[in-house]
Amino acid sequence: MSRFSLPLSACLLLTGCLSHHPYESLVRYHDDGRAKPVAVIPTMIDTTHSDVPWSIAEEMTSHIVRNVESKEQIYLQEGDGSLLADNPFNPDISWVKEAFVPQQFVVFLELVEHELIPAFGKSSQEEPRGNYLNTGIRVRIIDLRQNEPKIVLQEIVRDSYYIPRTYFPPNYDTASWGSEEYEKTPMGIAHTRIAQEISSRIVDYIILAQGR
């Protein structure tokens, strides 16, 4: 065997791997070679007024993107909602296709409710036994594959999560977004729950639209 054969083989193998971009193939195509639908999820718009010392919109967007990616049914590309020049929830969506070329789908999100409501017992005269965290997120999925953009889903997903009084006031210094402690808090659990629901809807409706 020539002393050059092993390095040459290794080089050819490496070149072959690089030319086919194996990692991109794993995430952009199914195992059988079918292309996954391509979508983008810009950062969620927040029209609420929360006293939480971080961006709830960024937190929820991060949850939803991670959940959608984990289902391995859609190829997500990066998107930034801060670049939006128009309100994506207006009736006029003619600008969306040009703004998001070459995406096939775009998912707009808006946090429309994030409010703590006192949870009273049998009488409203009593001290509240806790709070309900009421959350509402507007979802609009637009199909960009045709000449004219088309809305395939538009709804507000709502959730109400009970938080016992013992968890108030929360200590954001020790349990803030990004910490292990926060993920175990009622607010962290509530955000995870609604994000999972929205992620499932996004995947289901995009897959359904792709098959039409």
Q: Say yes or no: 40 and 26 in one domain.
A: no
Cβ atoms within 10 A of the Cβ of 175, count? Answer: 17
Same domain, 18 and 43: no
Pair (116, 53) in one structural domain: yes
Task: Name the token pair of 141.
Answer: 């999925």
Residues 162 and 141 in one domain: yes
The reply to whether 117 and 198 lie within a common domain is yes
Give the residue from 212, 211, 202, 99 showing the smallest Cα distance to 141: 202
CATH of the domain at 147: 3.40.50.10610
Average pLDDT, rounded, for the chain: 83
Residues 130, 55 share a domain = yes
Co-location of 121 and 153 in the same domain: yes
Q: Which H or E element spans position 119?
A: strand 105-119
Find the mean pLDDT for residues 104-130. 84
pLDDT in tens, 120-135: 766 656 777 788 999 9
Please tell me whether residues 19 and 106 are part of one structural domain.
Answer: no
Q: Is the pLDDT of residue 170 over 50?
A: yes
What secondary structure, in 3-state letters, does 29-98 show? ECCCCCECCEEECCCCEECCCCCCCCCHHHHHHHHHHHHHHHHCCCEEECCCHHHCCCCCCCCCCCCHHH
With a cut of 50, say whether residue 10 has pLDDT above it: no
Same domain, 50 and 5: no
For residue 149, report the phi and psi dihedrals to the nearest 5 degrees.
-60, 145
Q: Which domain holds residue 135?
A: 36-210
Displacement of CA 23 from its chain's centroid (Å) = 22
Instruction: Say how far apart CA 6 and CA 29 lie, in whole Å.
Output: 32
Total number of domains in the chain: 2
95 with 174, same domain: the answer is yes
Please state the pTM of the whole predicted model. Answer: 0.82
User: What is the distance between the alpha carbons of residues 89 and 104, in angstroms, rounded to a whole number?
Assistant: 18
Higher pLDDT, 137 or 174: 137
pLDDT bin (cut points 50, 70, 90) of residue 70 is very high
